[in-house]
Amino acid sequence: MIKRVSRLASPRKAAKQRKTARFANGPAVHFNHVTHHYGRMTALDNICLKIEAGSFVALVGASGSGKSTLMKSINRLITPGSGDILIDGKNICDDDPYHLRRNIGFVIQGTGLFPHLTVAANIMIGLRISGRDKDEARVSELLAMVDLPQDFAQRMPDSLSGGQQQRVGFARALASTPGLMLMDEPFGALDPVTRDALGESYRRLHDHLGLTTIMVTHDMAEALLIADRIIVLDSGRIAADAAPSDLLNNGGGDVADALVAVPRAQAQKISEMLR
């Protein structure tokens, strides 16, 4: 917690450092008037959004605000009732879903690892999509990328801590060298210290690989610390769309202000205690 507060102190400096580190080869993602209903429930209501190549976007909002639906519409786990989604200018409906998903990494809360397969075999599932599932050198490279020791390859998932398992989840998602990463509450099941460390380490990977990352989180503090841009959803609509520093300066409107108020008050209380 203390670490988080100290990092809150200089978001501008961190953003500047990131800008110089980045080289983007992840794609741009555009939403044009995307609407989706589940029965009579409007989950997405005329979403128009341009996500720049190489950016790290957090989708924040109350439970049921449409975050997961928006995310799943990008890799066609759901097909919106109307509107278009373009990846690097290409309508995703013109692509074969299998080919589309090969270029998109997907990380979910709780890892989704197969408990009866070794770490290597779990990572190789990510490689199977690209027809390289016997590529042990790639497994080794991926373990190094997510800072796991090489001898973890033959371990079973339940012999790893939650944070280590989530690192395997990242390795599997990165296996087919996607440019775009979709992450739905990727750190949600982890304790705060592990969560913070993994968040920082993923952010470095995002910058190093030049990825485009879209991350769903209900934790505004996490979004403020890790993302370049925060989209706040409210009942399927975009209630705010701003940089973390703008949101902290009350630049996001009422819904965003209510979400930012909690980490801001916590940060203030803790810095007073430290005086």
- Point out which residues bind ligand ADP (CB under 6 A): 38, 41, 43, 61, 63-69
Q: Minimal CB distance to Mg ion: which residue?
A: 68
**Taking the complex as a whole, how short is the minimal distance between the CB of residue 70 and Mg ion, in angstroms?**
9
Strand order in the sheet with 237-242: 104-108, 180-184, 212-216, 56-61, 229-234, 237-242
Strand partners, 213: 56, 181
In the complex with ligand ADP, which residue's Cβ is closer, 124 or 233? 233
**Taking the complex as a whole, how short is the minimal distance between the CB of residue 93 and Mg ion, in angstroms?**
23
User: Pattern 14-33, binding to Mg ion, x per CB under 5 A?
Assistant: --------------------
Size of the site for Mg ion (CB under 5 A): 1
**Taking the complex as a whole, how short is the minimal distance between the CB of residue 169 and Mg ion, in angstroms?**
17
In the complex with ligand ADP, which residue's Cβ is closer, 44 or 224? 44
In the complex with Mg ion, which residue's Cβ is closer, 142 or 232? 232
DSSP assignment letter at 28: P
With binding defined as CB under 5 A, does residue 217 bind Mg ion? no
**Taking the complex as a whole, how short is the minimal distance between the CB of residue 157 and ligand ADP, in angstroms?**
25
In the complex with ligand ADP, which residue's Cβ is closer, 60 or 174? 60
217 binds, among ligand ADP, Mg ion, none (CB under 5 to 8 A by kind): none
Distance CA(43)–CA(130), nearest Å, equals: 33
213 binds, among Mg ion, ligand ADP, none (CB under 5 to 8 A by kind): none
| 86: CB partners within 8 A, 6+ apart | 28, 29, 30, 32, 92
**Taking the complex as a whole, how short is the minimal distance between the CB of residue 217 and ligand ADP, in angstroms?**
10
C-alpha dist (Å) from residue 110 to 46, 51, 162, 197, 219: 31, 26, 8, 17, 16
Q: Describe the crossing of helices 119-128 and 162-174 by its angle, rounded to 10 degrees.
A: 30
**Taking the complex as a whole, how short is the minimal distance between the CB of residue 233 and ligand ADP, in angstroms?**
6
20 binds, among ligand ADP, Mg ion, none (CB under 5 to 8 A by kind): none
User: Pattern 32-71, binding to Mg ion, x per CB under 5 A?
Assistant: ------------------------------------x---
- Token pair recorded at residue 160: 């790893």
- Token pair recorded at residue 189: 């099941």
265 binds, among Mg ion, ligand ADP, none (CB under 5 to 8 A by kind): none
- Token pair recorded at residue 110: 């709780």
Put residue 44 in one of left, alpha, beta given phi > 0 → left and psi -120 to 50 → alpha: beta
**Taking the complex as a whole, how short is the minimal distance between the CB of residue 186 and Mg ion, in angstroms?**
12
Side chain identity at residue 231, one-letter code: I
- Residue whose entry in the numeric block shows the structure tokens 């440019």: 179
157 binds, among ligand ADP, Mg ion, none (CB under 5 to 8 A by kind): none
- Token pair recorded at residue 234: 């409210």
Distance CA(129)–CA(152), nearest Å, equals: 22
Interface positions, 66-125, toward Mg ion (CB under 5 A): 68
| Beta strands in the chain, from DSSP E residues, in sequence order | 29-38, 41-51, 56-61, 82-87, 90-91, 104-108, 180-184, 212-216, 229-234, 237-242
* List of residues contacting Mg ion (CB under 5 A): 68
